[in-house]
Structure 1
């Protein structure tokens, strides 16, 4: 017999021998009883398992002895080399790393800021100190300029907080402002919040009640008509909803209000924050074809004939104004959400007013029987743009529950803007309002921070649900109304 085949370490030949022996034993066991047969089979299985485990253990030790990547193995033909010897000898062999050289690095996931509010911490101000070397009379002129500015501030009763005190109260911490604001909006907001005030006057433009108008240092003339983008109207602290109305207008895609921010005046309102609205000297009150104020009857007639819709010139008997038909639909969405009744329902005929409401104090509520003769108020447009309304005097009311809403504002309306309705249906109105109102730090703080802002948004969301229910119940069409 060949020596290689007879070697005990050969597992295959051993198994063959065991199989032949097993068959012989089986033939012999046929004559035995069942108990002896089971006993013999158990003994054979035990011997087989013991032999298999012994052979596998022996082969594993032999493989480890010849493993070139084992930590304790030594090459039989080559002595062990140190790192310095391998460099000096110029060894170019590329060896795979051992398991002990593998390092696993766990990176922490990037912590994202909240999706609704991009930043909540005011960045530190780092002012660069610039040394100025006066030449000639430059230093004396600078002192005179500062003295004159301080004199004006003292005459008006202002401190440094009325101007820019080193940082803007309009906080934009992300790379860009929310998409519903234009560049002109951001510029106007920063101007209203941070500009240096040089003069405050009480003026009465034609067709308007008296206004408190402030002028900034950028104004180069005393003419109120030329005060464009450099003057602002100061409202009462009670009219702080003007700021909320501006943000809601931009989010709904209406773009009909003037920019408004909150600003603190130490000479007005006992130092309380006041809403400040950008002044536009081109504003003009709206009148009908007879140069009279628009009445409720003429307004309903113009809604019926859809004045200026699809470029059709209105007939005289339609009693139309210069305002396009879609403008009234935009106004209604805006006024209903904020419950602004002074424009379309100054007599408070569509809801139950409170004793402190203006319509009750002035006795207008008693004139609800003659609705057609009731005049619409605060209807404003620009002289160079007569077909579009400008939402002016946007004092909203957040303390009126859903059971006492003014549905008279929706009377005669058959269509509403799709862009505004889609925002109300998107379930993202709260997120957008939080992100938008956070820009105005003075307004945010004056309303009690996020907790106070959330309460205001709760009111608007509930009214939005009521409006959407009204649209479905009355079959109001939702159509594009792009200007």
Structure 2
């Protein structure tokens, strides 16, 4: 009996499938499309029916949020709970207090790997004495030893005007607890000596005790500041020889075209080590508070007196070329008496030529600007200065400086270079007669390490870094030096210049 029932239930389905197979293909497609459309319509109606309770719940929850009725556990109560809650909300006593809960503003999560900025102590700037601000450029006036009590300005016997700030509340805008020389690691870059680091820290951070202006013969006057003695770099026997500086001092250069700081770092990176340490520093009463470049005072450069000038080598262009040909003092061999050699080692001229070419410094080997088209800012633009190029053999070299106790090595001073990007107006006269160049400096240029080392070196001087516009401004200066370095390497290959070690 059960078998017949199953057969009876299966018979209509079997008959439908048989009729469906007998239909034409078009009818089959139509039947399938109708069934799919009906199924889709059923699903749409079902989903819409389910969304209505959810929308009602969301509307009710939104109303509760606007009224301030929030559930801290984040779950919605059931409809029966809502009814009981509504009945409980009716106050039965008069001392019922309604409390509205508000969301507490959460603090952002502490993300790992972030570096919090250091809290720096704000420095309260003191007002500078108006008598000082009016004297931005101190002039020589009065008789020897005369003291003006109202301004604190006095003139010394050697003609220099002296300003003593020992009794005044002097503030040059530097924080005594903050160093402008940024050395974050245990050691400075390897091209700096310990004495270089101490000199940079003195120039950038030392408290200024007094400032004086010293006139010189046939040269602009020098502005010198004396700082608090940190680690004395000059022996006392040299200090007592003249009355210019009683301890550690620095020479202030506030001219626009001064490149002393960049020249100092380039000299150390190339391993030449012939410049004097220099940093940037601000003085509230000079240059409208803008950064000035400060060079360490070296008393050994002035054996007699500052007014007489540093110890220099007097020679003409012909004598200079002759010394290059004679290879004077090479391998410590004494030259002949009639050779016309000076006291400078032969390798010193190679270092000077490479350094001056990269910075385009003309004041030493080409003071009359005979090797290029002079610019408006060059000293040789003065009337009659450029006309001496007609007799180039007798042109006098200038600013060839050495220390009193060291007659064999040069000292690169007054390094006023040019960052003119014009590569068609380079002064190749600076390289004339040079047959050898220092291996250490050329290797830095060939290995493409100049930019990396200069960035690392210049970053130490925070004041100079910021005064040049940060990384973008420093990159522009290095771009000019790199292009000149590539031209120099091409010149070396084209003229067969030897690259040899030139250690001291």
TM-score bracket, shorter-length normalisation: 0.5 to 0.7
Aligned to 1:199: 210
What is residue 159 of structure 1 aligned with on the other side? 171
Cα 1:440–1:153 change in 2 (3 A) is same
**For the residues of structure 2 that align with 1:280 and 1:300, how far apart are their CA atoms?**
29
Q: What SS does the corresponding residue of 1:385 show, helix, strand or coil?
A: coil
Post-superposition shift, 1:173?
1.4
Q: State the 1:122 CA deviation.
A: 7.5
Deviations 1:290-334 (A, max 9, x none): xxx211111111111011011211123221111100000000110
Match of 2:295 in 1: 277
In 2, the alpha carbon distance for the partners of 1:243 and 1:122 equals 28
1:302 and 2:323 aligned: yes
Aligned 8 A contact 1:237 1:272 in 2 = no
Structure 2 match to 1:184: 195
Whole-Å separation in 2 of the counterparts to 1:347 and 1:186: 36
3-state SS in 1 of match to 2:203: helix
Cα deviation, residue 237, structure 1: 3.6
Matches within 5 A, 1:320-335: 320-335=341-356
Aligned partners of 2:272, 2:377: CA distance in 1, in Å?
31
Q: Deviation at 1:382?
A: 0.5
Which residue of structure 1 lines up, in the alignment, with residue 132 of structure 2?
none
1:265 aligns with 2:277: no
The corresponding residue for 2:273 is: 255
Give the CA deviation at 1:236. 2.0
1:357-436 mapped onto 2 (5 Å cutoff): 357-436=378-457
* 3-state SS in 1 of match to 2:223: strand
Q: Distance in 2 between matches of 1:276 and 1:448?
A: 19
- Provide, for residues 97-143 of structure 1, a one-character-per-residue CA deviation record: whole Å limited to 9, x for no partner: xxxxxxxxxxxxx97x9xxxxxx99754589xxxxxxxxxxxxxxxx
Residue 168 of structure 1: CA displacement? 0.4
CA contact (8 A) 2:278 2:296 kept: yes
1:217: which partner in 2? 228
Deviation for aligned residue 1:286: 5.0
Query: Tell me, what secondary structure is at the counterpart of 2:418?
Result: coil
Alignment of 1:471-482 (within 5 A): 471-482=492-503
SS of the equivalent of 2:343 reads coil
Match of 1:340 in 2: 361
Partner Cα distance (2:312, 2:241) in 1? 25
Tell me the residue number matched to 1:76. none
Alpha-carbon distance in 2 for matches of 1:331, 1:225: 32
Q: Secondary structure at the match of 1:389?
A: coil
For 1:217 and 1:158, the matched residues in 2 are separated by 13
SS, match of residue 420 in structure 1: helix
Shift of 1:240: 3.6
Give the direction of change, closer, same or farther, for the CA distance of 1:287–1:430 in structure 2 (3 Å limit): closer
1:79 equivalent in structure 2: none
**Structure 1 partner of 2:179:** 168
SS in 2 for 1:275: strand
How do residues 48-63 of structure 1 correspond to structure 2 at under 5 angstroms?
none
For 2:215 and 2:335, the matched residues in 1 are separated by 33
Structure 1 unmatched runs, 5+: 1-109, 114-119, 128-147
RMSD across aligned positions (CA) = 2.9
SS of the equivalent of 1:371 reads helix
Q: What do residues 312-370 of structure 1 show as CA deviations (whole Å, max 9, x unaligned)?
A: 11123221111100000000110000000011001100001123321012431111011
- Aligned-partner Cα distance in 2 for 1:355–1:126: 45
How far apart are residue 205 of structure 1 and its match? Answer: 6.7
Change (3 A) 1:204 1:388: farther
CA distance in 1 between counterparts of 2:255 and 2:176 reads: 21
Structure 1 Cα separation of the partners of residues 220 and 361 of structure 2: 18
Deviations 1:381-406 (A, max 9, x none): 01111100000001110014111100
- Shift in CA distance, 122/268, structure 1 to aligned 2, threshold 3 Å: farther
Cα distance in 1 for residues equivalent to 2:365 and 2:280: 27
Verify the 8 A CA contact 1:158 1:265 in the aligned structure 2.
no
Taking structure 1 as reference, are residues 200 and 156 closer, same or farther at Cα in structure 2, changes over 3 Å only?
Answer: farther
- Cα 1:311–1:154 change in 2 (3 A) is closer
CA distance in structure 2 between the aligned counterparts of 1:228 and 1:207, rounded to whole angstroms:
25
TM-score by length of 2: 0.63
Distance 1:121 1:283 in 2: 47
Q: 2:336 aligns with which of 312, 315, 334?
A: 315
CA contact (8 A) 2:166 2:210 kept: no
Q: Residues 252 and 419 of structure 1 are in contact (CA less than 8 Å); yes or no, is this contact kept in structure 2? A: yes
Following the alignment from structure 2 to structure 1, what is the Cα–Cα distance between the partners of residues 116 and 368? Answer: 46
Query: Structure 1 residues 431, 367: CA separation in 2 closer, same or farther (over 3 Å shift)?
Result: same
Does the aligned pair in 2 maintain the 1:235–1:274 contact within 8 Å? yes
> Any idea what the Cα deviations from partners look like across 1:58-97, whole Å, max 9, x if unmatched?
xxxxxxxxxxxxxxxxxxxxxxxxxxxxxxxxxxxxxxxx
Q: Show the 5 A alignment for 1:16-31.
A: none
How many matched pairs?
340
Q: Is the 8 A contact 1:214 1:233 kept in 2?
A: yes
